[in-house]
A and B are shown apart, each in its own frame.
Chain A
């Protein structure tokens, strides 16, 4: 049985406060998680050395295992920044997001999800999503209302919007990867490098294999002649930079500026 050989850690108030506050977020970037950990140590035991984040989280996860949840780490598809979310391990169905969304809203999300997965670019246009409002389960929803609901999804970090098109937020991928792979086995795309679910990325124009942007960045790092790992053809796309948290801090670039600098790639 899972976890039977793994040594289970111990919860202290530091861990509990960390979990409580973590649960107030939908998803966190690594620096935010680090800040949260520092805060909890400071509050409960100023003198204790702050444990290495990875060990701290593994410790908590060993205890969460019996509750079938875990603090999961992933990276964003656009620029490879590490993110964390508390996810459910027990079931693989679409997140109900039930406390925040009604039945028809959840169905709208499901429809958007399907369009995103089926698309070539990983984006679904607002128009195409809104055209499906008549097919939604539950209370009838008008297009105007649906627009508002889509914005709710963006605000709560389930979807990302770029120029009128929607794709999955890193949070949604972290939460739903298993469900998506099991529910849409024929439509899902996978990354040739990390073998995880791929919603957005670059693809080889010759053989069609796909890679996440951060996976491309890592794989072709300091390679002046990038070639497809599968068919060896010249890789035709711009190679992004590997995410460097230090560089980002130094640059002091505001979040909003960074967002506008990111460009969409096929």
Chain B
């Protein structure tokens, strides 16, 4: 839909939903207009150049600068979305960023992916094949020492998540919800009680972590009252591994991963599969 330019400046893409783009990371990098009803519509582009709604209707007449800006927008969008750990939908990308550059979407995405990797060290990965949702996976190894120079305390919930991932794996890749709470209660985390770090632990575990695709939360069939079980979600397999989780569990117990031979073997097989994916069979249901 063509936007009428206002004040000679180009309203085009920017005049859409005022929530399109926002800060890069936590740094609050500026972007986007203040919305169509703003009286001060001198916004969007700087004096250097502008998104022209007119040229956008003639693909191929886009300037180098416009293309660069579009890629820049896309990179920022992906970084921001990932900051919240919410999977990024392809439809979202098209709607909020690409818009009338749809015809060259694959090229724009390719450039953005390259920049994300080269500049920031993040890989854009498909969460589940054919689902058209993506996440960013860190190409750099996160280190414990990073914690002292981070601005956002990482996610304090990461520790809790790791514990649950450990419980799931050690229990044979699936565990009933009731057993998870039995364990967590020993740590002072209750489903019905507000926690001073985690807030609402029940919501965090059964909703937030699931939405972020770290966990799967499914009803166990034929249970009444309904019982649920946890499994690893698709993001977990992309961001960590069985071996890493086993090492975490071992560390917590002050033991060695090999002290759990069954899990250790399973983790080794998983490592091999990761190294040479073409040799692995159908996706293991873990």
A78 at the binding interface (Cβ < 8 Å) = no
B79 at the binding interface (Cβ < 8 Å) = yes
B26, B34, B35, B75: which contacts A25 (Cβ < 8 A)? Answer: B26
A1 at the binding interface (Cβ < 8 Å) = yes
Contact with B along A92-134 (1 / 0, CB 8 A): 1111111110010010001000000000000000000000000
Q: Which of A178-186, A229-237, A255-263 contacts B (4 or more CB under 8 A)?
A: A178-186
Residue of B nearest to A184 (CB): B40
A69 at the binding interface (Cβ < 8 Å) = yes
B27, B35, B45: which contacts A86 (Cβ < 8 A)? Answer: B27
A17, A24, A110: which contacts B151 (Cβ < 8 A)? Answer: A24
Chain B's nearest CB lies how many Å from the CB of A9? 11
B27, B31, B75: which contacts A23 (Cβ < 8 A)? Answer: B27
- A89 touching B27, Cβ below 8 Å: no
Q: Number of B residues whose C-beta is below 8 Å from A?
A: 57
List the B side residues contacting A27 at CB < 8 Å: 27
Q: Which of B14-22, B179-187, B198-206 contacts A (4 or more CB under 8 A)?
A: B14-22
List the A side residues contacting B150 at CB < 8 Å: 21, 24-25
CA distance A179 to B29 in the complex (A): 12
A265 at the binding interface (Cβ < 8 Å) = no
CA distance A24 to B149 in the complex (A): 9
B174 at the binding interface (Cβ < 8 Å) = no
Residue of B nearest to A2 (CB): B48
CA distance A28 to B64 in the complex (A): 33
A39, A63, A95, A183: which contacts B40 (Cβ < 8 A)? Answer: A183
- For chain B, what secondary structure do more than half of its interface residues adopt (helix, strand, loop), or is it mixed? loop
List the A side residues contacting B25 at CB < 8 Å: 22-24, 86
B234 at the binding interface (Cβ < 8 Å) = no
List the B side residues contacting A68 at CB < 8 Å: 68-69, 72
Chain A's nearest CB lies how many Å from the CB of B137? 12
B76 at the binding interface (Cβ < 8 Å) = yes
B42 at the binding interface (Cβ < 8 Å) = yes
Q: Given A96-B19, A96-B32: A24 and B72 within 8 A (CB)?
A: no
List the B side residues contacting A36 at CB < 8 Å: 149
Contact with B along A2-35 (1 / 0, CB 8 A): 1000000001010011011111111110001001
B138 at the binding interface (Cβ < 8 Å) = yes
List the B side residues contacting A13 at CB < 8 Å: 121, 140
A228 at the binding interface (Cβ < 8 Å) = no
- A183 touching B42, Cβ below 8 Å: yes
Considering the complex, which residues of chain A in the window 32-79 have a beta carbon less than 8 Å from any beta carbon of chain B?
32, 35-36, 39, 43, 63-64, 66-69
B84 at the binding interface (Cβ < 8 Å) = yes
- A24 touching B46, Cβ below 8 Å: no
Contact with A along B141-157 (1 / 0, CB 8 A): 00101101111100000
- B65 touching A98, Cβ below 8 Å: no
A137 at the binding interface (Cβ < 8 Å) = yes
Chain A's nearest CB lies how many Å from the CB of B97? 13
List the A side residues contacting B42 at CB < 8 Å: 182-183
Please name 19 further chain A to chain B contacts, defined as beta carbons within 8 Å, in addition to the given A28-B151, A90-B69, sorted by A numbering. A19-B120, A20-B138, A20-B140, A25-B150, A64-B119, A66-B115, A68-B72, A89-B46, A90-B72, A91-B32, A91-B46, A92-B30, A92-B43, A93-B14, A93-B32, A93-B43, A94-B43, A99-B23, A156-B26
A-B contact pairs, 24 of them (CB 8 A): A11-B118, A16-B120, A17-B140, A20-B138, A21-B146, A21-B150, A24-B152, A32-B149, A39-B148, A67-B119, A86-B24, A88-B29, A90-B69, A93-B32, A93-B34, A96-B18, A97-B23, A98-B18, A98-B21, A100-B22, A103-B19, A179-B43, A182-B42, A183-B40
Binding site for A on B (CB under 8 A): 14, 18-35, 37, 40, 42-46, 48, 64-65, 68-69, 71-73, 75-76, 79-80, 83-84, 115, 118-122, 138-140, 143, 145-146, 148-152
